C-alpha cells in the first residue's frame, strides 16, 4: 500500500483551474520530486496536502487513512510535515526552541504542570532538549543551539526549518524548494542531508524543486506539472528525457 495516495485532486480559484485531476502514489521510503514551470500548481498541491486549501474534488490518503480536507494541525498530527519556499521560522526564538516547537506534537504537559514547574514539566523539558540537540547535530546546528534563528546564515536557516519539521515525527516530509537561494556548495551539502534524512530516519520525502541537478541527483521518481495537470510521471531518467517535458519545462 502506498504511503501517499492522491486521486483526482482538483481545485479552482474563481475561474482559474489551478489543479485538475491530479493523481500521485508514493511508496514508503521513496524520494519523490514534483517539478514544473512557475505557476504550474506545485505549491498549490502542497497546500492541498497540508490542509491550507480544501480541494473541490478528489481524495488524499495517508497510509490508508483519508485526510482530505482536514485541518492543517490534524494533518500534521497524522504524519505530514512541510517546509516552505519562503522560510518560516520563529526568528525571535533560539535555534533550539524552534526545534522544540515541533517536538510539542508528541510531548505534553498541562498548564498547571508548566506554571508550577511540577516534576513532569522538568522531565518533558529534559527529554525535548535532548531530542532537539540530536536533531540539530544531524544538521550540524548543535553549536548554534543558543543563537537566535534570525542570526543564522541563510543556508542554515533552511536546514533549521527541515529539522523543525522532522521534530514532529512525520511519516511524510514535504520540502518546498529546499535549495532556493543556496549557492552550489550549500546545495550539494543539502542533497547529502536529504539523503541522510531519508536513509537514517526511514523518511518518505516529496520535494518541489527547480534545481534540475538536485532533482536528477536524489529523486527516484518525478511528476511534471503544467497548467495544473500532470504532464508526465515515472522514473527520473525517463521523465527528464521526455520530449514534452523538455519542451514545457526546459524551454527547448
The pLDDT tens digits for 139-152 are 999 999 999 999 99
Domain 86-169 part of CATH 3.40.50.150? no
The string of pLDDT tens digits covering residues 186-232 is 888 888 989 999 998 889 999 998 777 788 889 999 999 988 999 99
Q: Do domains 1-79+171-178+204-252 and 86-169 have the same CATH topology?
A: yes
Closest CA to 19 of 59, 51, 56: 56
Chain centroid to CA 193? 14
The string of pLDDT tens digits covering residues 12-56 is 998 899 999 999 999 999 999 999 888 889 999 999 999 999 999
Residue 123: its pLDDT value, please? 77
The string of pLDDT tens digits covering residues 89-109 is 999 999 999 999 988 766 555
Task: For residue 124, give the C-alpha cell.
Answer: 518533558
Residue 124: its pLDDT value, please? 75
Task: For residue 18, give the C-alpha cell.
Answer: 489551478
Domain extents for the chain?
Answer: 1-79+171-178+204-252, 86-169
Q: Please state the rounded mean pLDDT for residues 116-134.
A: 76
For residue 110, is pLDDT > 80? no
Specify the fold of 1-79+171-178+204-252.
Rossmann fold (3.40.50)
User: Which DSSP string do the residues of 16-43 spell out, in sequence order?
Assistant: EEEEEEEEEEE-TT-EEEEE-STTSSHH
Amino acid at each position: 500500500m502506498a504511503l501517499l495516495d492522491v486521486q483526482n485532486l482538483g481545485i479552482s480559484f474563481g475561474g482559474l483551474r489551478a489543479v485538475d485531476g491530479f493523481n500521485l502514489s508514493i511508496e514508503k521510503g521513496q524520494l519523490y520530486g514534483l517539478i514544473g514551470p512557475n505557476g504550474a500548481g506545485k505549491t498549490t498541491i502542497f497546500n492541498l496536502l497540508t490542509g491550507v486549501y480544501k480541494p473541490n474534488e478528489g481524495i488524499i490518503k495517508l497510509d490508508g487513512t483519508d485526510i482530505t480536507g482536514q485541518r492543517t494541525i490534524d494533518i500534521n498530527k497524522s504524519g505530514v510535515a512541510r517546509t516552505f519556499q519562503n522560510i518560516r521560522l520563529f526568528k525571535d526564538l533560539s535555534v533550539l526552541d524552534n526545534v522544540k516547537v515541533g517536538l510539542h506534537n508528541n510531548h505534553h504537559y498541562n498548564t498547571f504542570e508548566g506554571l508550577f514547574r511540577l516534576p513532569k514539566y522538568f522531565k518533558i523539558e529534559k527529554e525535548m532538549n535532548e531530542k532537539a540537540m540530536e536533531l540539530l547535530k544531524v544538521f550540524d546546528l548543535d553549536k548554534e543551539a543558543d543563537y537566535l534563528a534570525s542570526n543564522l546564515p541563510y543556508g542554515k536557516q533552511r536546514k533549521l526549518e527541515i529539522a523543525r519539521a522532522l521534530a514532529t515525527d512525520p511519516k511524510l516530509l514535504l520540502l518546498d524548494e529546499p535549495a532556493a537561494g543556496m549557492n552550489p556548495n550549500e546545495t550539494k551539502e543539502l542533497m547529502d542531508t536529504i539523503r541522510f534524512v531519508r536513509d537514517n530516519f526511514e523518511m518518505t520525502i516529496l520535494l518541489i524543486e527547480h534545481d534540475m541537478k538536485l532533482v536528477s541527483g536524489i529523486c527516484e521518481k518525478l511528476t511534471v506539472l503544467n497548467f495544473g495537470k500532470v504532464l508526465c510521471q515515472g522514473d527520473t531518467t525517463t521523465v527528464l528525457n521526455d520530449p514534452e517535458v523538455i519542451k514545457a519545462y526546459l524551454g527547448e
